[in-house]
Every structure is written in C-alpha cells, then in structure tokens.
Amino acid sequence: MHIFHQSILFFLGASIASFLYATSLRMAANGESIMTRSRCRSCNKNLSFFQLVPVLSWIFQLGRCGCKKKILISPCYFLSEFLLGGIFIYIGQFFGMSTILLPWLIFTSILFFLFLTDFMFQLLHLPTMITGILLGLIFSIQQTLFFESFVGMVVGYFIIFIPNLIFMKIKNKKGFGDGDSYLMALIGSWLGPVITIQSLVLASWVGVGIVGVYYLFSKKIIQKLPLGTLVIGSLMPLHFFYYH
C-alpha cells in the first residue's frame, strides 16, 4: 500500500479514535450529550480546532491543556488515537483501498469503542452491539456468507448465555456481565463461529494469567475482569495467526 494511502488510513483511524474516546467518557458522565463542544475535562475550558487535531495536538502541546495552569492531559487520548490509526493501516494491508475495506474499518471501530467502554467503565453499550450485529449480517449477505454469519451470531450469544444461566441457577448470581453475550454475538456475526470460540478461549487463558500474576504480587484474587476487553484484545493475535 502506498504511503499516501497509509497516511489517510492512519489519520482516519486517529480521528475516529478521538471521537470514540470522547464519546465513551461522555457516556460514563451520566449520559452527557456528544453534541456539546469538546472541552478539557480538568478545567472545563472549550478546546479550539488546533487543540483537536488527532495525535499532533497532544504532541505539540506536550500533553498539557492550553489553559494557564497547564494541566496534564491523559496520555490515553494520544494512545487510543495512535493505536486505532495503526490498526487501520494494518487492516489496509490486507484489503487495500477497495470497497470491502470500509465494512471492516466500521467493524473495527465498533470493537474499539466497546474495548474503551469495557476497559474503563466495565460497560458494553447495547445499542452499539445490536447495530454491529445487524451490520455483520447485512455484510455477510453481500459476501454470500449469511449462514456462517448467522451461526456465528447464535453460537457467540449462547456460548455465554448458557453458562451464565447455569451459574445463576447454582450460585444465584451472574458469572458474566449482561453485555458479554451480545458482544460475542456481534463478533460471531462478522467472523463466524470458529474464530468467535477461539477468541473466547484465548481471552479466558489471558484472564487466568492476569489473575495469577496479580495474586503472586499482591496475594489477592481479582474478583472481576472485563471479559469484553480480553476477547477484543485476543482478536488481533488470532488475525495475525490466520493471515501469516
């Protein structure tokens, strides 16, 4: 892929990440509207256009707010923009600047948003997941893969729903979050049943590793882990394995 196209994909991904990160913060702040002007969340000062350029604004401002107090801005803004921009370039290497690239960028953006909300707030936005499932099914029809997509959706949903139901009957409490079933259904509608199951297995082992390491250092057991974050994070190495 030409460096010009890579640059376009990077700044597109960084711009989308900037919007998604801000949206995730506003959702957590009692449903704050996404239509209001962007502002520094430390001093509440409205941001100018030049303070909203993805990646570059954070670098040029040395990670500080433009107010007189020069308040430090969380590096998570910069990291999220840089990460999604890099992922967009990575996806572009496989699909090129073709019409099939757009659906996969949309799917990736949806997963990235869910990754942010689950990682920061243990929240999976149901309307976003339902929209993602519908888009996955529609895209599969266009690619003549509707049966695989539908099976992936069903398998993804029930692979969480059934164990959760059994755990509820035995322990009288849920073992998974309410949104995890819909997240797996979303992934299944796009990637099919095989990768969906593999991502859950890999995420489970990663979770066991995190709990084990945390226990070694703190002698405490983690009671909750954001499954959505682990599953979405597990998709990248699986993708790398399949295409290499």
The CB-side HSE value for 232 (13 A sphere, CA atoms) comes to 23
* Tens-place pLDDT, residues 171-183: 777 777 788 999 9
pLDDT band, residue 69 (cuts 50/70/90): low
Per the listing, tokens 């049943």 go with 193
Q: Are residues 82 and 159 in the same domain?
A: no
How far, in Å, CA of 197 to CA of 194, rounded? 5
- Evaluate if residue 189 carries a pLDDT over 90: yes
Q: Are residues 172 and 232 in the same domain?
A: yes
Domain end call among 64, 97, 130 = 97
Query: How far does Cα 11 stand from its chain's mean position?
Result: 18
Angle, vertex CA 199, rays to CA 198 and CA 201, nearest 5 = 65
Domain end call among 97, 118, 152 = 97
pLDDT band, residue 30 (cuts 50/70/90): low
Amino acid at the residue 139: F
Which of the pair, 9 or 94, is modelled with greater confidence?
9
Q: Are residues 63 and 76 in the same domain?
A: yes
Determine phi and psi for 94, rounding to 5 degrees: -95, -35
Give pLDDT, residue 1: 65
Query: How far does Cα 10 stand from its chain's mean position?
Result: 17
Q: Are residues 53 and 115 in the same domain?
A: no
Which of the pair, 169 or 146, is modelled with greater confidence?
146
Q: Are residues 59 and 83 in the same domain?
A: yes
* Tens-place pLDDT, residues 231-240: 888 887 776 6
How far, in Å, CA of 95 to CA of 104, rounded? 9
What is the count of structural domains for the chain?
Answer: 2
Q: Are residues 104 and 190 in the same domain?
A: yes
Q: Are residues 110 and 91 in the same domain?
A: no
- Evaluate if residue 127 carries a pLDDT over 90: yes
Q: Are 103 and 8 in contact (CB under 8 A)?
A: no
Residue 195 has a CB neighbour count (10 Å cut-off) of 19
Question: 3-state class of 39 per DSSP?
Answer: strand
Residue 215 has a CB neighbour count (10 Å cut-off) of 12
- The domain containing residue 172 runs over which residues? 99-244
Give the dihedral of Cα atoms 168, 171, 172, 174; nearest 10 deg.
Answer: -50
